[in-house]
């Protein structure tokens, strides 16, 4: 059990780090191309989903068996469109119209929604460590984005809308696929989720043209596109896979290192400014992660109860 928990912690921390890295990379990509967020996401989902499913085929796995189970297939389609596509589109659109760190901030509202949902479901208040971690991470994220002043954040209504949808999508794709993953495995669900989501978005965006898309890419932007697809796919696999070993609440709160990574990369690579309060925010997020990795009896009991449910 302890080894499984360590594996889960490694998976979520690695996945969150990769996802935090992907935000600034996506921001750079949009700054150096004229590709729309929808066109970008169509390519990302289709290529990533197809790659995962082809990989499973090479491993002799029967990837189409889930299509013979109507109930599971319906769950998969819902997850693909509302969870996978919904969360990624909202996140990428937020990056496109604002920046990577702002998008990450809104995404981190997801753990708050998840914690509230789990508490209501279990009819039990969050543990002391969970509350401390949530408060610390939220304060840290606030400082990172605002540098201690709400006047330094100027968000349009469109940014707020897509940001809130990011949080809701994040919560949904964390909670909804749990039963599917237990039955079919992480890789299969993520693969189909990406492919179905990509197909749905391609049908919706009928004006998308592959030739025009390819003509707008240079060697550097094409390399970045491949990099984004790879780290984005790995982050989803690791994040969703960690749910096998950790509770949804624990996993979602540990993802608080995403804004820390996004901020550091944005500062060092995209040359964004970083103030004293933002540094304090980074420290708060690290403290939040430490809270959840500390072997406190109360936290362990709470998380064990959630897994048994």
For residue range 68-104, list pLDDT tens digits in order: 999 999 999 999 999 899 999 999 999 998 888 888 8
Amino acid 197: pLDDT: 95
- pLDDT class for 120, splitting at 50, 70, 90? confident
Which whole number is the average pLDDT over 125-150? 80
Amino acid 130: pLDDT: 80
Residue 54, pLDDT above cutoff 90:
yes
Which whole number is the average pLDDT over 265-280? 82
- pLDDT class for 306, splitting at 50, 70, 90? very low
Instruction: Work out the percent of the chain whose per-residue pLDDT is above 70.
Output: 89
Give the DSSP per-residue string, the chain. Answer: -HHHHHHHHHHHHHHHHHHHHHHHHHHHHHHT----HHHHHHHHHHHHHHHHHHHHHHTT--TTGGGG-HHHHHHHHHIIIIIIIHHHHHHHHHHHHS-HHHHHHHHTHHHHHHHHHHHHHHT-PPPHHHHHHHHHHHHHHHHHHHTT-GGG----HHHHHHHHHHHHHHHHHHHTTHHHHHHH-HHHHHHHHHHHHHHHHHHH-TT--HHHHHHT--HHHHHHHHHHHHHHHHHHHHHHHHTTTS-HHHHHHHTTHHHHHHHHHHHHTS-----HHHHHHHHHHHHHHHHHHS--HHHHHHHHHHHH-
Place of tokens 């039955």: 183
**CA 263/CA 282 separation, integer angstroms:** 8
277 alpha carbon, distance to own chain's centre:
25
Amino acid 303: pLDDT: 38
For all residues of the chain together, what is the average pLDDT?
83
CA-atom Rg of the chain in angstroms = 19
Give the DSSP per-residue string, 187-202. Answer: HHHHHHHHHHHHHHHH
pTM summary value: 0.78
Tell me the CA distances in angstroms from 1 to 4, 182, 246, 279, one per residue in order: 5, 17, 11, 36
128-142 b/e with 16+ CB inside 10 Å = b? ebbebbbebbbbbbb
Domain borders along the chain are 2-308
Handedness of CA 151, 157, 158, 163 (dihedral sign): positive
Which whole number is the average pLDDT over 137-153? 77
pLDDT digits (tens, 9 = 90+) for 231-249: 988 887 888 788 788 877 7
Residue 128, pLDDT above cutoff 50:
yes
């Amino acid at each position: 059990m302890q080894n499984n928990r360590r594996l889960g912690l490694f998976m979520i921390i690695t996945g969150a780090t990769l996802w935090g890295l992907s935000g600034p990379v996506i921001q750079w990509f949009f700054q150096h191309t004229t590709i729309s967020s929808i066109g970008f996401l169509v390519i990302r989902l289709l290529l990533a989903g197809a790659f995962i499913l082809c990989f499973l085929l090479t491993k002799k796995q029967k990837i189409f068996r889930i299509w013979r189970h109507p109930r599971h297939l319906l769950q998969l389609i819902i997850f693909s469109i509302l969870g996978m596509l919904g969360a990624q589109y909202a996140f990428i659109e937020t990056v496109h119209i604002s920046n990577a760190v702002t998008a990450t901030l809104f995404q981190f509202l997801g753990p708050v929604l998840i914690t509230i949902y789990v508490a209501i479901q279990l009819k039990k208040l969050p543990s002391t460590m969970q509350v401390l971690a949530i408060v610390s991470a939220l304060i840290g994220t606030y400082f990172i984005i605002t540098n201690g002043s709400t006047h330094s954040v100027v968000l349009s209504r469109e940014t707020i809308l897509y940001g809130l949808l990011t949080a809701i999508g994040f919560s949904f794709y964390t909670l909804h696929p749990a039963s599917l993953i237990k039955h079919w495995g992480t890789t299969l669900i993520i693969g189909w989720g990406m492919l179905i989501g990509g197909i749905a978005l391609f049908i919706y965006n009928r004006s998308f043209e592959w030739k025009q898309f390819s003509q707008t890419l240079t060697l550097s932007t094409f390399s970045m596109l491949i990099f984004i697809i790879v780290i984005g796919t790995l982050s989803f696999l690791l994040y969703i896979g960690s749910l096998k070993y950790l509770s949804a609440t624990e996993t979602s709160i540990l993802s608080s290192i995403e804004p820390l990574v996004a901020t550091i990369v944005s500062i060092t690579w995209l040359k964004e400014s970083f103030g004293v309060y933002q540094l304090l925010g980074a420290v708060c997020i690290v403290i939040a992660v430490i809270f959840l990795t500390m072997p406190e009896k109360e936290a362990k009991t709470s998380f064990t109860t959630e897994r048994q449910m």
